[in-house]
Structure 1
């Protein structure tokens, strides 16, 4: 069964939020989806089969292609939180990501087509025009080999991505995210994302009156590897006499403000509420940063294209001008 697209995932979350907010249970939700045909029958059948096995909302949605981050939020809320509020926040989360994904695709599509077109032009110049030039220079030599350089760069990039993927699979998530947090752009986005994500989850659970040890037990049973490793590490720190906010401050992939919010919120006994408010601000900052980062993609690609075009003109015209100078 094909997984739901990002737009369909957002639409289904919106439907679930609206139906559950109006008093529907899961059986009635599935019956409504089947009658209304707002979701393809194959997906409704999958959800119904999962429900008949006694599974909850998380298992019903897991087969439809939702990410582990979304599944973890729903699972925690389904056990000890406000599921309707969580669905509303997930809907906004998916909407923001879909918009940024769409803008990124729009930003890179035309420049990439232009780059491919330039590579074709360079291949034509390499085989037909440049060999006919009486004199050649460093630029013409560079243009002759530029397609090879471009192909080599693409292969090197694929090799680096493959190596990183293999390393990430074998490395613990705590170590991996700690290392990534020190890189300039990726690190900033990663810190903002994880801070917003965990501030919201901890805020929701603490706001429901759950003790920290109960929250850690729940985290240790989640699908997210990072969440499980965090739960284990924080438990060990608490047993060693370290406080919760001190341990959070030691993680480089969290912003320092998160530990301060935990420390002062705990003193005023309003930790859940303050973390929830802080997470909302953090999500807004994250999506704003991500949007600004994607806006740099198109200018950078256009700059590369412009440099290549200037090189092509220079490689063609310089030998002509040199020949004219020799004549006159």
Structure 2
């Protein structure tokens, strides 16, 4: 399902559950009321009627990380709160996608006008000057070769980097992305929110650290929770302490060391982790909004660069031709 439809689904179901609806009745309401786009959830209703859990019924329609978050929430009695949080996250993503499209509309329009102008100058004006004042053909200038070379190197690096990251397990992929200057803080904030939220729910369900690691081993191997649990369990078996593991992990916020170091009872620690997960979520939203605010200035800088290159590539030779004509 699209992010927008997931936001509507989770928010509506959470609201109906809080008002006394059963899960099946809440899903039926969503399918009946929200139109054709939600008819794809009809098989979900059939699976719920057959006794399947919500997470299992929605598995084919949502991302694997969200699936395990719902699964853990169902098993440990925090489904409504998790649906509310998931709905807020999806709603935020939808709002930010709309904001990005809105910010890009004007710069993209300027780029279209600019490249159209360049095309008109090259195809209709420059040939006239060349016919009046023919000059011997020359190759590309040094700065043009430099631009082509820099663009080729950057493009090749991006392609190689994307291919390399796509082959990595998800936990190592996130760890690599967390080192990057722009998206690294976003990756760390998201992983801090996601892992802390699920750890808090598992603790609230009565599991200890060993139990959490044991539960995570039963998840699919491509999920972040399974790989994170396996990494922590391997470190503990190797004799490392949990604070040392947190300090060495790029995906976990350092504040967790303070929370775990207080040695509070499991119930209090779970509440603190859940609250801290909400703090990480708010941090993620702020960082995303800050990054979005840089989109339009960056686009205008790109446009300024294109204008400068266009001036050097087209207008300067045209002025030279005009000077030769005036002589």
TM-score (normalizing by structure 2): 0.82
1:318 is displaced (CA, Å) by 7.3
The whole-number CA distance in structure 1 between the counterparts of 2:39 and 2:325 is 76
Q: Which residue of 1 aligns with 2:19?
A: 22
RMSD: 3.3
The whole-number CA distance in structure 2 between the counterparts of 1:233 and 1:170 is 19
Q: Which residue of 1 aligns with 2:208?
A: 211
2:106 matches 1:110? yes
CA separation of 1:155 and 1:72: change in aligned 2, threshold 3 A: farther
Residues 63-103 of structure 1: CA deviation (Å, up to 9, x unaligned) = 33x22232121111011241111111111111111111111
Specify the SS of the correspondent of 2:163: helix
Counting only pairs closer than 5 Å after superposition, residues 1-328 of structure 1 correspond to structure 2 as: 4-36=1-33, 40=37, 42-64=39-61, 66-131=62-127, 132=129, 134=133, 153=151, 157=155, 162-223=159-220, 224-264=222-262, 266-267=263-264, 270-313=268-311, 315-316=314-315, 319-320=318-319, 323=322
Specify the SS of the correspondent of 1:222: coil
Count residues in correspondence: 316
1:106 is displaced (CA, Å) by 1.4
CA separation of 1:19 and 1:289: change in aligned 2, threshold 3 A: same
Residues 214-273 of structure 1: CA deviation (Å, up to 9, x unaligned) = 222222233452221111121122222322232122112323223332223x34653212
CA separation of 1:308 and 1:166: change in aligned 2, threshold 3 A: closer
CA separation of 1:154 and 1:100: change in aligned 2, threshold 3 A: farther
Q: Is the 8 A contact 1:195 1:258 kept in 2?
A: no
Residues 266-298 of structure 1: CA deviation (Å, up to 9, x unaligned) = 346532122222222221111111111111111
1:194 is displaced (CA, Å) by 0.9
CA separation of 1:168 and 1:41: change in aligned 2, threshold 3 A: closer
Q: Is the 8 A contact 1:76 1:218 kept in 2?
A: no
1:10 is displaced (CA, Å) by 0.7
Q: Is the 8 A contact 1:192 1:286 kept in 2?
A: yes
Greater alpha carbon shift after TM alignment, 199-208 vs 74-83? 199-208
Structure 1 unaligned spans of 5+: none
Specify the SS of the correspondent of 2:182: helix
Structure 2 unaligned spans of 5+: none
Greater alpha carbon shift after TM alignment, 33-42 vs 227-236? 33-42
1:12 is displaced (CA, Å) by 0.9
CA separation of 1:40 and 1:172: change in aligned 2, threshold 3 A: closer
